[in-house]
Structure 1
Amino acid sequence: MLSSLGMDIAGETTQRTPERMAAAYRELLQPREFNLTTFPNEEGYDGLLIQKDIAFVSLCEHHGLPFTGRATVGYLPGERIVGLSKLARVVEQFSRRFQVQERLTKQIATYLEQHLTPGGVGVVMQAEHMCMTLRGVQAAGTTTVTSSLRGLLLKDDRTRTEFFNLAGAGR
């Protein structure tokens, strides 16, 4: 591919570029393994738990270029609560692949809904897509925002409003 784009890969500084590029893509596409650690909700906590500003990187499945951003993930605990670091791990698990932001947002919400059986789940993702800022329309700084809501965060107006207010969506 590099040769067809006119890059001389025979030079001393570029001869290992194809190997380095392949290693970089492998790294971007391999999430770290984790187990979703949960604990009994012994205190009966029934308020929203929200983790904001979870940084993520993914690769656009249409152009192979990165999109980077921040996720906000929240849930209403049921019988179990999750280890806090695991919310960021779930975001990483689904972002480290060729992906579209809409699907990524839904995958995180679905996973948490299935594995925690909470009262509700909310995910908001904000990202800048290099396929849009470096090429095509070249709209640098444009942010794409997606959300996926489940359970009470979808069905109950007050809970949904509380989630979006705490998440700071739209700021």
Structure 2
Amino acid sequence: MTNPFQETLPVAILRFCLSAQSERLEHYRAAYEANRHRVYSFAFWMTDSEMLAEEISERTFLRAFSLNDQPTDEMIDKALLRELKNGKFVTLAPVRVHCSTVNEVSNVRRNAKRVDLERAIVQLPHTERMIFCMHDGDGYDHDRIARTLGISEDESRQGLHQARLRIRELVNSNAMTAVA
């Protein structure tokens, strides 16, 4: 009979865990199971590629497990951010608020399709996409986002506001091109 834990872990993480002591193995398993879907999802949103997301997820856990025997969610987030930066998948620019008026916001109130929203999120600048995914996707508060990304809470709030405005504009423009 095979171990169900071994079936869910990527091979590199499994090798690392098997070399660990049994008590650390339980901590690794708990951290992996608690965070694997979130890490993969976030990596996917930042790269828009399933294969890259799997690779980044694997490297994220290897990094987090090698740095600490009992990594917290925040340590795993920081390891993920380092992997995204090191792989040149994201470039974090300072959060700048460009509050231009959103034209015809009422047009967005129609039934927006999920695919329109997904396309709009992928088109966001990296910093805004990260803030949006962390806050609206994973439920992080602005304090945790600020600590993870190394920005202020106000910048996190501004980035989220800007991301939401851009998403509305992008959904509206995508809908207009689909109609035309």
TM superposition score normalised by structure 2: 0.31
Higher helix fraction (1 or 2): 2
TM superposition score normalised by structure 1: 0.32
Higher strand fraction (1 or 2): 1
